[in-house]
Each structure stands twice: as C-alpha cells, then as structure tokens.
Structure 1
C-alpha cells in the first residue's frame, strides 16, 4: 500500500491532470483527513449524537456549517453527505416521493446520472423528463425548459450539469419553477468553487435546495453538502440522517471546514479568477489547434471538445492523451449524439500554471491526438512541464 500511495503521488506530479472534477487539496486538508478524527463514530447532529465522546467533533461540524453558510450566503447547510450523488439523493428525499415527475437536463446534453439515468436510483424511483441545449449555440434552451414544465407540471426542476461550460440563468429557472409550482434544485457540484471565489453566479438565492461537492474547484476533501433556507432545514437534515446515511465521516467534515475557511480568503478568490482565465485560454488554444470547442468557449473551469474534426473519435483521443501523460474525461455531445472530451483547469491552476502554460498544454494535447510524435517523447515533454509546477512543493 505504501508503494501504491507513492506511485500515485508520482503519477499526479509527472502528468497533466485535466479531469474537470479533480483538484489538489491543500496540505492542511490532507492532514485533517489522515487525523484521529477518522476514528470517531458520530451518528446524528451536533448536540444530538447517538454516541458519546462527540464534544470535539461537534465543534468541527458546527464550524463547517457556519463557514459554509457564511461563504455561500445560505441560511442552513448540511455538510454530512458523503458525495455529490449522496447530496442529490437527500435533496430528492427531502422534497419528493417515489413516482414524482422531475424536469432535469438530459443525460445526452450533459445531465448527471442522478438526473434520471435508468441505471441510477433517480431514473428508477422518479419520472424524469429531459431538457436540452439549442442545436445552433449549444446553450440551454430556456424556452424548451418552460414549455416542458408547462406540459409536464413537474414536482421539481433540476438545474445543473456535468459538462455544460457556461453559467446557468438561475433566475430564469426560478421563474419557470414558480410558474408551475415546482421546487427548484440546483446541482452545483461543478461551479460551487467558482461561486465561492466570486466568479460564478450563486444559486443559493434562487434554489430551494443547492446540492454540491466539496472537491473539484472548491479544493476540499471528496464529499458533498446541501444548502437551503431555514424552512427546509429540518427536512433536509432528516433526509441525510437517518434516511439516506448513517454515521458521519468526521475527518471529512473537519476537512470541509478547513476548505471553507481557505475558500473565504482573497487568495482563493484570485485562484478562482485564474482558473477561469486559464480555461478560456486553453479553450482558445485548442480551437487554434483545429479542435471544435462546444459553445465556442467557456465561462467556467471546464470546456468540452469535439475531436472528430481531427478524424478521431473521443475514446481513441483520450487513449493517446493518456499515453502522453495527459489525463482527462470523455462526455456526451448533444449534436449528433456523439462523444467528446471534457477538460478542466482547476488542478493545473492549483499547481501555479498560468495562461502561457495553457498554450503549451494545447500544443502537447493536439500533438498527442494527431499521433504525430512518439508517445514516449510527448510523455517526457509533459512530465517536464508538470514537474516545473509540483502540486506539493514541500514534499518533492
């Protein structure tokens, strides 16, 4: 196991981590995750646990809740969900009953598994209707959302995506939800870190419940959280415990508190601005290399790319990139139902890279996709760039 840990550290340091859902946590977050807090059982909530000895972990959870509420302007926060999917499950449990109709982004257009996939609890327990993006722009078709809401009268509308690179109009979703008497659930797993940094619109004032993750751009431990108004606080808390989860992971909750504290600093706001600047620079550089960037660019930390212009399918492209040490995802492309590449700049920005490095990354990625250079040579060039920006300099 020690060898695996060291090997993974080397893999992360020697390559370019462009998976949009990943980031490097701070050393402080890592330290708390590996602390004796991991030993503590703490079912329930602060002041009302089902186990003794929770005095200190109660302080940790209260601190995480207070920091989350202050950071996002929420009346209530639940920091116990083990993941983003756990948070969405709890939100549905708080507001819906099995069989209720839900309007969410179609999986083919960028929706998450929890937005109605038949392989997921959401698609098995609820009746999902999917909205999509306009074929001419790739942007959310709000007129279609309104028309589908009027036709199907859903109990809830979900706004959020795993591969939509533009800001969502939460006010428009709120107006549509109010028109048909639906709850509005914001799945902000990807943009919540940008919200914390002040470079993305905040869904909290508009949504009944906001579901989010604490990793990704937010740079905290892997986990989830829920934000809501005070009137839904008890329903949300009961939906997490005891309905969908048992004991809270106190080491993770304490690490979330650390991350929320870090995200409230001017340094994090500057980081978030750089993440977006890097994403725009990378998208422009990839387009200059002949790749098709959907929606013509990005407002966020991510972009989606169609590699078919280079006569290559996404899975072959991802394999060639991986051989060169460039790690990223594939995603659905709404036009034509094909598959594209999804890239994010959170990790490389954490490492200290700027817009100049984005041009270099685009050139390396394009060379790998085209197969014009030997993978070993490309991998050496990628490693040279990555090693100039170690994720944990004190430990290299």
Structure 2
C-alpha cells in the first residue's frame, strides 16, 4: 500500500431532511456550513498516510492500556499496515477490497471512523491531534470522538460498510437508525457524562469500482459543559505522547509530556526542559533524521520485511511547539508528500533501539554482510500529516 497516494471521497447529505438540518446556521457555525457545502460540491481527498494514522490512533477499540509501552505501539503500527495491505488496495485514487476478501466488522468500523475524522476535521477546521475517543460508558454515548474547536466542542458518530448495491443499502439504513436511536438517548439524558455543541453523523460506504461515499447526518446538540481549551490541550498532549514515546522513550521531553497535567498548561509558557533553546536537536539525538525545506524530520524505524522499514517521525516544528508551550496554536493546512527522498546515516551513531531494527534486517537478509554500517543508504516516500506526524516506507539499499 502506497502511503503517499490518496483516496477520493464523495461527500453527500444522507437525504434532503438532513441537508436542511446541517445547513441551519442556528445549529451550526456558518464557516462549518460553508466548508461542508464546498466538500459536497467538490469532493475530498484523504492521503493514505492520514487514513492509516487515524485507523491506528482513533478507533473505538483503543483504550488506556492499548499501547502501554513502546513495543506495543511499534507492533500495532506494523500490524495495522500489514493488515490493511492484506484486504485493501488503492486503484486510481479509489479504495477497493481485494478479491475474495471479506473485512471483519471491526475493520469496517475502523475504516468508517478514519474517514469520518478526516471529513469532519476539514469541515470544522481542526487537525488529527485534536480528536480523542469517548470511553465505553454504561449509558449510550456518541461512541466516537471528541474535539475542541475554539470555544465549542464537536462529537462524531461514525459507521462503515461495504456494499456494491446502488444507492443506500440495508446496512446504511440500519446505521442511520442506530445513529438516530443513539441521539434520542443522548438528548433525553440530562445528566449525560459527555455533551457537545456540535454533532455529526457519518456513514462511510465502500463499493469496488466507485469512490468512497461519506453520508452526513445531523444528530442533535445538548451543549458542552466544561473548559474547551483544556480539552483541546488534553487531546493534543495524549496524541503526541504516543509518538514521543515511540521515537525517544528515554528523552526528558517524553517523560515531561507523559506525566504532564493538562489542567496546569499555560499557553505560550515554555516547559521546564533543559534543552529549551533547541528542543528538537536534543530530542532527535541518535535518531533517523533528514532535512525537508525548513524542517528537520526525525523519527524511528520499524523493520517490516525484505529491505523495507516503516518510518514514523515528527517535524522539528511540532517538537518546538510542544516544548515552547505553543501546542494550542500549532496547525498545518494539509498533508505534504515527499517523494523519492534519499539520505545516508551512520549506523554506529544510532540509539540502541534503532540499531536493533537494523539488526532485524541483517538477520532476515543473508547477503547484508555487504552493508556498511557507517554509511547506510535509505530511500523512499514520506507523508507529513496536518498534525506534523511523518509516516512512510523506506528501503535500505546495500
């Protein structure tokens, strides 16, 4: 699966009734409505890298112990990409199910959730790092995501299905009923644990040979009670802590963020980090790094197979934003793709964890004795998400 390719999506209202509700400026921000109308008219493209990242970090099956340590996260990244490659393919910017494959219910849900995040992020103007998962509750809840947009909070209910039927299949109708039933329960529960100002329902339909279609629905609002700024910071700190721990688990910056209390966060106040003058230089020490435009990209390798590695990294700008207390204002407008990049690294100057991944490659490749560890050559394609996360497939050339 080419992580630098993209998937075209058709955006449609579920029906005329929901269109009227979603375009009601008494219920939704006028900017949201304008953005939504543009997507319905022009369509939308999601990068495969964003699709994978959303599938990994924003799925209902994730809980607080899903990635308890670095190895668990590395394993999940590798398995997610391999699993998707087994049953999905991208042809002419269209997502297709491979022949004789029948994705599980969990995989269908994961796909629906991933597309929903990207579409609604575009509508309300947030980045992937702004989302979090509503935990499993004894009460019915919008079982998906929670995001802060300025002084307002948004929730999504996401569903996914596969169907080659024209129009809305029975599965789509059932999903709509499920969303409507859930919204009634949330609306009638005055003491609900999770409330929001804006609600969106998204049903994603995948059918071979056609564009992915995302149907938009209008669930009701009940009003968010709480501090939306603190919610935004909490979501972003949680999101980036996964990547910090993956790339540099022993870094002082990683330890600070993992143990940080979002309630005491002060905007524009630098963290108590001794390398605050150049945060990314310290954080990327002994990591895989390369230059792109005005950015340094630094990260970690995960050996996959043959001579291929998954690369997961962060940009120097997001590291600086985290360390300098500018996390709330960080934003990127789009995903960037770096095609055919090439760079050399000195394997002897890598951290122990990076060297272990190189050793896995050597064990799997009998002819790798020709590899010069002090001049390892990598090439491949990398995508940088709107959250400043880099992901791609690199080949080690020897």
TM-score, length basis structure 2: 0.29
TM-score under structure 1 length normalisation: 0.29
Which protein has the bigger strand share?
A: 2
Q: Which has the higher contact order (CA 8 A, sep 6+)?
A: 1
